[in-house]
Structure formats: structure tokens, C-alpha cells
Amino acid sequence: MTGLPRRLFGLFAFLLAMIALAPPATAAGPTCNGKFVNPITDVCWSCLFPLSVGALKIWPSSRPDPSNPASPICACADPLPRIGISVGFWEPARLADVTMKPWCFPNLGGIRIAPGFDIGQGYLTGPSMVGGRSQSTAKWHVHWYVYPLLYWMEILTDFACFEQASFDIAYMTEVDPLWQDDSLAALINPEAIVFANPIAQAACAGDCIAGTVHLPLDPLFWCAGCQGSMYPLNGNIPSSIGHVQSSRLA
């Protein structure tokens, strides 16, 4: 072997040696942990109930349920005019995860899908004295998935009203500049100023009581039951209870 073939062989051997001796690559950024959702064991199947036809409870449940139409016969015009039966139940159609690590997707097995630019890290702080009051604050990132589980598993396949879609990531807070800043979020949600007062916040106590007894009160839409205020509509949580409250917008 002489000339050009020898040089090519030497170069190929050198590249193989570099690959073999190179240290294992590590993903940039913090470690991301998680697992894929098991549709059998990780889904609250009993939460689908109560099942009703009109006002008649076919499969009762101890869980609260909003008011259903009194008549079992209904009509709709989307996509075509048709008459059907009014059936009420809870359909699992969306999935959310919250994380303090940007670009970390716990529900996708704990993978990081980072485009290469940095986004502020989330945080969770314990009680601290702010103005003489104890206050916990937090900031999380939220991912919102399209997850029509009943349609995928072909349960109750005759229902034309099921959401028929494939798995998708519908929203990521990392790419939303409004999620990072209260002032920017107020540009599209100026009503936050109306609810940033002691009277509006005190009204959430009534929403907490109603949510504990049965269901929260729809007129108090700025409240999230016992989890506090819904505003500001971004990732800043002024009175953190935990990751459940942090995903309240998802």
C-alpha cells in the first residue's frame, strides 16, 4: 500500500482512534428526569365518572360533576347538522408537566430538547419574610400536550364528539416571552390590575370553600380554588403551594 491509499488508511485509523478515546458526550444544561405516562397505571380511570345520559346518572360517582342537560336528546351543527344523545363524562384529552429546568420534558421520558439558547431557570423558595409576612415564591416552566387517550385506545368508538388527534406538544412556556415577565404578560391580560387588590384576593376564600365542598365558583374566574389567584398569567407564583398550583394555567 503506497501513496494516496496509505494516507487515506492512516487518516481513517486516526479518526477511529479519536472516536474510541473521546470522553462520552454529556448534554448541556441540568439533568432532566422523568418517564413516559403508562396509560394503564398512571391514568385515573375512575375520574371519567360520573357517566350520565341527560340528567340521568348511569354510572354515579362520589366526585363532583357540573350540571348536565335535562334532556337526553341534543342537536349540534358541527360539522354537519345532526341529532344525538347527550352523554356526560370526563374525557382525558390533555396532559401537562411542570419543571424548573427549561427544555426538560418529564412526560417524554425525561429528555431535553434544547435549541441551544439559554432560558431562565425556574426556582422554588421556602417561606421568607417579605414586609413582615411569610411568603413562598416559585417559577416553573409548563408543557401542554395533546393527549386524546380514549380515542387512541378506541374506547367508546361510536362517539363522534371525541377529539380525534395525534400526540403533540401544543405549548411550551420556554418560547413564550410573556411567561417570563409580569409587565409583558399585562399587555394581553390588563385585567390583572383589577384583581391585584386585597378585596379581589379575599374573595378567593369563598372560592376555596366552594371548591372544597363541591366545585369552584365560575363568577370568581380569577381564583383557583384554594390554590390562590390565577393572576398574573405567567410563570411567576407569588404564593407557591407546590407544582400543582404552578401548572394551573396548563
Residue-wise pLDDT for 16-26, tens only, equals 444 444 444 34
Helix (H) or strand (E) holding 18: helix 4-21
Residue 104's pLDDT band, with cuts at 50, 70 and 90, is: very high
User: What is the rounded CA–CA span in Å between residue 34 and residue 145?
Assistant: 15
C-alpha cell at 220: 370568581
b/e code 157-195 from CB counts within 10 Å (16+ = b): eeeeebeeeeeeeebbbbeeebbbebeebbeebeebeeb
Beta-bridge partner residues of 112: 104
Q: Specify the residue for cell string 374566574.
A: 221
Residue 35 makes CB contacts below 8 A (sequence gap 6+) with 106, 109, 110
C-alpha cell at 86: 347527550
Residue 84's pLDDT band, with cuts at 50, 70 and 90, is: confident
Which pLDDT score, from 0 to 100, does residue 133 have?
53
Helix (H) or strand (E) holding 227: none
Is residue 124 predicted with pLDDT exceeding 90?
no
The percent of residues in the chain predicted with pLDDT above 70, rounded, is 76
Kindly report the pTM of this predicted structure. 0.73
Q: Specify the residue for cell string 411550551.
A: 172
Residue 57's pLDDT band, with cuts at 50, 70 and 90, is: confident
Residue-wise pLDDT for 177-231, tens only, equals 899 888 888 889 999 999 988 899 899 999 999 999 988 999 999 998 888 888 8
C-alpha cell at 241: 403551594
